[in-house]
Chain A
Amino acid sequence: MSLKKITSHKMFLPVFCMILVLCANMIYDASQGSDFYEFFKVGITNGYLSGRLVNILNRGSETAILAVGMTLVVSASAGTDISVGSVMALCASVCCVILAGPAAPQATELAAPLIVGVLGGIAIGALCGAFNGALVAYLNIQPMVATLILWTAARATGLLVCNNLIVYVRNDTFGILGGFIGMFPTPILVAAIVIAAVALLLKLSAMGLYVQSVGINKKASRIAGLNSKRIIFLCYLLCGVCAAIAGVVASSRITSADSNNIGLNYELDAILAVALGGNSLGGGRFNLAGSIIGAYTIQAITTTMYNMKISTAVTPVFKAIVVIVIVAIQAPPVKAWFKKLSARNASASAKGVANA
């Protein structure tokens, strides 16, 4: 395979970014006198799997789950759902309030079976997704504006549901979702299940074709017999469900519903994951695997910063720099510049050969 073929492959960008982050880790580890493969070490601490890689997969679960829904939304509607972070908070609140029951805000026993709370949260997420979808698909409101409503309203509603308190559900059964099954981190499993379910749906049904077709040309898709509006609606619905699952996992991690902080700014990570995955934010063709790798890359960047003992206050700055570099690499003028540069090198080396 020629170099050009590799660089033009759809998985090139996400994988390249991932490798870049890994290299940074290895160089840093080596310079600190540790083994250069420190990053990949998986150990067992206090009976749980530990290590940086495990940590990244664990912590990146929520972003990965969100990225799944976001990929579909971007593809079908050429817009982004910026409400996912707030919807996470709302769904977490609903789930916790159901589980805490009358004992809120300090519950230690589950007032309802775990599954009821989880399904309650997911139902609210679906409702939020349906709301967004209806605005975008049927009322033709721009996705950014339509989802801006829940971006502000969902988090506030979450606070309202919790009566403006942090609702604690200090219960081991609830803690499992964000904790461990045996020695294995549960969020990784949850993310894997969501990804597998959506991948299976795309593989076994014609949904992938429908979504991309609508995203590329809504009018032509309609003439060809697709219900463009319903497909866009469905994508937002699915995105809402993904946000709910991510929200429940996030609240289980801290065994409480902290509506002010759960999912804060996650919508940006999710959108970034889709972009890093090599997906055009203009809709159309999508690459789900790319988005997921993008999501874990973002988490890897964050974890690397912690590891390098960079203060959490300045982490966003470094993250921004990394993002600028990654996004700049795929900008057309930069690509053109690289092309020119390599052409000049080629001609220079040719001249060198001639002189020799």
Chain B
Amino acid sequence: MEDNVVLTMRGICMTFPGVKALDNVDFTLRKGEIHALMGENGAGKSTLIKCLTGINDFEAGEIHVDGVEGKVKNHSTLDAQNVGISTVYQEVNLCPNLSVAENLFIGREPMTPFHTIDRRTMIRKADELTKRLDIRVDVTQNLENYSLAIQQMIAIARAVDTNCKVLILDEPTSSLDDSEVEKLFRMMTSLKEQGVGIIFVTHFLEQVYAVCDRITVLRNGTLVGEYPIADLPRVKLVAAMMGKDFDDLADIRPEGFTSHADAEMVIDAKGLSHKGTIKPFDIELHRGEVIGLTGLLGSGRSELARAIYGADKAQTGTLKVKGKEVKINHPIDAIHLGMGMLPDDRKAEGIIGDLSVRENIILALQARMGMFKQMSRAKQEEIADEYIKVLQIKTASRETPISQLSGGNQQKAILGRWLATDPDFLILDEPTRGIDIGTKTEIQKLIIQLAGEGKSVMFISSEIEEMLRTCNRMAVLRDGAKVGELDGELTQERVMSAIAGGAKE
């Protein structure tokens, strides 16, 4: 092992039922560095961390920790602590009703000869520890009297006091405000100077560039690469996370861009928001327009659409549909206003697994008609057959349970469900994820066709190419807020630099 390396992971493999979560991943952490672990949701960051801390049992590969002979395989977080690996999670896992000192020493309290807790020593040691780390607190006060940032720092102090060589910070900043983040960063820098290796997991790109020395990028469970921070500007980081490279991207913007600004306004949202998922945003959508929502996974693009549709009820702001102000409490309200939404998680929110293809297709239309106006069986079959034919859904019969269909055909059936309601405004959240290329093209064609028929479409996709091919306009989201809109000539480069948030548009 190199002199300044504290942790090496080599060839880590891990499989969840049906999914290869980690495939031959390497990771190296040096003494006194802050190392960002980056990747989109599902890239394998958490799984890698869990392999390291003993929560997950990896199948192949080895881990070496500085100062420990041979391979390290942890079976619990306690094992991990014993070899010098501590973790601080997003939520503070301490007891708010105990004092700071008690929290720092819980489970390892200094004892008197009579086997009672030596409070005086404990308080003295706690005082020393907080002073050393420059946390200004009264250690006899209850933890709940301090801000979340301080609590987070106490958690870190507790972690580093136990002979810690590797400190893992898993999304530590997501519940902190800017000045608190600042404090936390100062502490991280001081720990770094003391020689602790810090693994920093975050979604916030700015923060990576503010404190980190090195970046390791994962994508779909594989290692993309390890880069010194200077070699990986934002745009390249985004490209690495999404699996795109600028050089070999052909510009595929379709010709015939038209402005829809004169057309009737279908959706006019002002200041809509949902606490914790999407900050207040304005968005407008005209008849016959396709708007794309772009941003990294978890940037709030699904959440924006969900707030309009009422899947997550908007808590602030006003929404006008075709010029009339409306209040949407439930998705059914949105359906009555001529909306439809194909959610991104097909299995959890799209299909009703045990129901037949027919029942799945007519469900939304039936819901709009109401419980006591049941469609006749003949009518149901007619509608189901129509969409099975139009969308070329491959199914044994219309009475086959939808769960037996392939992913792409399930997706088409859900599309059929919404087309059957003849919506004016359709939200398609990742309609092409996980389906074959042929079906993808069909769905893209369908979107353009729907827009041609005067419907408005909100299209969300991780694949920028297909957005470029179909969208008139794009809204860009970052860190749970809408940060801008792109129209005119849309190119991959413009979109990606907007996502990364480097230069202002």
Please list the residues of chain A having a beta carbon within 8 angstroms of any beta carbon in chain B: 204-207, 209-210, 212-213, 216-217, 219-227, 284-285
Contacts and interface: CB of A to CB of B under 8 A. Distances in A.
A223 B374 contact: no
Interface residues of B, number: 29
Given A206-B366, A223-B311, A223-B343, A217 B371 contact: no
Given A204-B374, A205-B374, A285-B354, A225 B368 contact: yes
Contacts of B368: 225
Contacts of A209: 355, 359, 363, 366
A223 B351 contact: no
7 contacts: A216-B352, A216-B354, A217-B348, A219-B349, A220-B350, A221-B363, A223-B341
A299 B364 CA distance: 41
A74 to B, nearest CB: 14
B331 A225 contact: yes
B298 interface: no
Contacts of A222: 311, 330-331
Top-4 shortest CB links A-B? A225-B367, A225-B332, A225-B335, A206-B374
Contacts of A227: 330, 332
Contacts of B332: 225-227
Contacts of A225: 331-332, 335, 363-364, 367-368
B114 interface: no
Interface of B: 311, 330-332, 335, 341, 343, 348-355, 359, 363-364, 366-375, 417
A206 B376 CA distance: 10
Nearest to B336: A225
Given A205-B372, A209-B363, A223-B341, A284 B354 contact: yes
Contact of B352 (A204, A205, A217): A217
Given A222-B331, A223-B311, 15 more contacts: A205-B372, A206-B371, A209-B359, A210-B367, A212-B352, A212-B355, A216-B353, A217-B349, A217-B352, A220-B350, A222-B330, A224-B364, A224-B417, A225-B367, A227-B330
A225 B332 CA distance: 4
Contacts of B371: 205-207, 210
A222 B349 CA distance: 8
A205 B352 CA distance: 19
A224 B335 CA distance: 8
A221 B352 contact: yes
B251 to A, nearest CB: 36
Contacts of A205: 371-372, 374
**Chain A residues touching B, majority SS:** helix
B331 A223 contact: yes
Nearest to A221: B352
A284 to B, nearest CB: 5
A148 B364 CA distance: 35
Given A223-B311, A225-B332, A226-B332, A216 B355 contact: yes
Contacts of A216: 352-355
Nearest to B311: A223
Nearest to B346: A220
B351 A220 contact: yes
Contact of B351 (A212, A217, A226): A217
Contacts of A213: 352, 355, 359, 363
Nearest to B332: A225
Contacts of A207: 371
A220 B367 CA distance: 12
A205 B374 CA distance: 5
Q: Pick the most buried of B311, B330, B341, B353: most chain A CB atoms within 10 A of its CB.
A: B330
A220 B354 contact: no
A204 B366 CA distance: 13
Contacts of B364: 224-225
Contacts of A212: 352, 354-355
B372 A220 contact: no
A204 B370 CA distance: 12
A220 B335 contact: no
A225 B420 CA distance: 13
A147 B335 CA distance: 34
Nearest to A213: B352
A285 B356 CA distance: 11
B343 A217 contact: no
Q: Pick the most buried of A207, A223, A285: most chain B CB atoms within 10 A of its CB.
A: A223
A217 B311 CA distance: 15
A207 B370 CA distance: 10
Nearest to A225: B367
A143 to B, nearest CB: 20
Nearest to B401: A285
A222 B352 CA distance: 11
B366 A219 contact: no
B367 A226 contact: yes
Contacts of B370: 206
Contacts of A204: 374
B348 A220 contact: yes
Contacts of B331: 222-225
Nearest to A210: B371
B366 A220 contact: no
A216 B352 CA distance: 6
A217 B192 CA distance: 48
Nearest to A212: B355
A204 B377 CA distance: 11
B341 to A, nearest CB: 6
A224 B363 contact: yes
A213 B343 CA distance: 17
A228 to B, nearest CB: 9
Contacts of B352: 212-213, 216-217, 220-221, 224
A227 B336 CA distance: 13
Nearest to B348: A219
A205 B332 CA distance: 18
A221 B363 CA distance: 8
B336 to A, nearest CB: 8
A219 B375 CA distance: 23
A207 B369 CA distance: 12
Contacts of B349: 217, 219-220, 223
B349 to A, nearest CB: 5
A220 B311 CA distance: 10
Contacts of A220: 343, 348-352
A219 B370 CA distance: 18
Contacts of B330: 222, 227
Contacts of B373: 206
A221 B374 CA distance: 17
B475 to A, nearest CB: 22
Contacts of B335: 225
Contacts of B341: 223
Contacts of B369: 206
Q: Pick the most buried of A209, A210, A225: most chain B CB atoms within 10 A of its CB.
A: A225
A104 B148 CA distance: 65
A16 to B, nearest CB: 23
A225 B331 CA distance: 5
Contacts of B366: 206, 209
Q: Pick the most buried of B332, B359, B363: most chain A CB atoms within 10 A of its CB.
A: B363
Contacts of A285: 354
Contacts of B374: 204-206
A123 to B, nearest CB: 23
B429 to A, nearest CB: 10
